[in-house]
């Protein structure tokens, strides 16, 4: 459950912070890395 909350929070910031398609890709990658760290 905690991972879902973290994921949704990260995605909210990702969508608010990116301006280009390339930026979206980078932000999604960073979000995935943050989720992996929290899972460990």
Question: Can you tell me the distance from the alpha carbon of 33 to that of 27, in angstroms, rounded to the nearest whole number?
Answer: 10
Residue 6, CA atoms < 13 Å, CB-side half-sphere: 13
Say what the pLDDT of residue 17 is. 62
Say what the pLDDT of residue 20 is. 62
Say what the pLDDT of residue 18 is. 54
Q: Which of these, 40, 1, 8, 21, lies nearest to 31 by C-alpha position?
A: 8
Q: Which residues of 26-38 are buried (b: 16+ CB within 10 A; e: fewer)?
A: ebeeebeebeeee
φ/ψ of residue 32, rounded to 5: -65, -40
Say what the pLDDT of residue 32 is. 82
**What are the residue boundaries of the structural domains of the chain, listed by start?**
2-39
Query: Average pLDDT of each block of 10 consecutive residues along the chain (40 residues)?
Result: 82 67 75 80
For the question of whether the overall pTM of this predicted structure is more than 0.75, the answer is: no
Say what the pLDDT of residue 3 is. 82
């Amino acid at each position: 459950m905690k991972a879902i909350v973290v994921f949704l929070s990260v995605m909210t910031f990702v969508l608010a912070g990116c301006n280009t398609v390339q930026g979206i890709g980078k932000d999604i990658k960073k979000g995935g890395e943050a989720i992996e760290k929290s899972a460990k």
